[in-house]
Amino acid sequence: MVRIGLPYRRRTGEWACPFQVRGAGPQHIKEARGIDAFQALHLVFQGVRKELESKKWDVTWAGLDLDNALPRPVPAFGDRAFTARLNRLIDREMLKYVRAAHARLVKLAKTDKSWLPAVKASARATRRLTSA
């Protein structure tokens, strides 16, 4: 079980947000720290992901695996061009994946009409990605 507390301001002026991953092993409460409450809360999700990965558990949430439930953020090191390049790469790969999935669904729908709603949904997802 994952517990996340409320962000609070420390005496130093930075913000912290406590979190705990409960299960086998030590039950330590950790903190993610940031320049404001939003960054501290954002960093909590990275901390939770790291904790879960280190435990090597087969984690799911709402039917999603860890990569989909708590996706890795795109790193930004202050170099906007590099971050933009990473984002374009991710967008291209997502579009390739969605187009391939759509093609598979279209093929299935040719022999089984019950796949038609999935074909329509994947067509909408493809349009959203190409219009973004």
Give the C-alpha separation, 89 to 77, whole Å.
17
- pLDDT at position 72 is 82
- Which residue bears the tokens 């669904």? 105
Rounded alpha-carbon distances, angstroms, from residue 90 to 27, 37, 96, 108 = 35, 28, 10, 27
pLDDT tens digit sequence for 94-107: 889 888 988 999 99
Q: Say if residues 46 and 73 touch (Cβ distance below 8 Å).
A: yes
Angle subtended at Cα 97 by Cα 92 and Cα 99, rounded to the nearest 5 degrees: 95
Half-sphere exposure of 114 (CA within 13 A, CB side): 1
Q: What is the DSSP letter of 27?
A: -
- Prediction pTM value: 0.64
pLDDT tens digit sequence for 9-68: 999 999 999 999 888 667 789 999 999 999 999 999 999 988 888 888 888 887 888 888
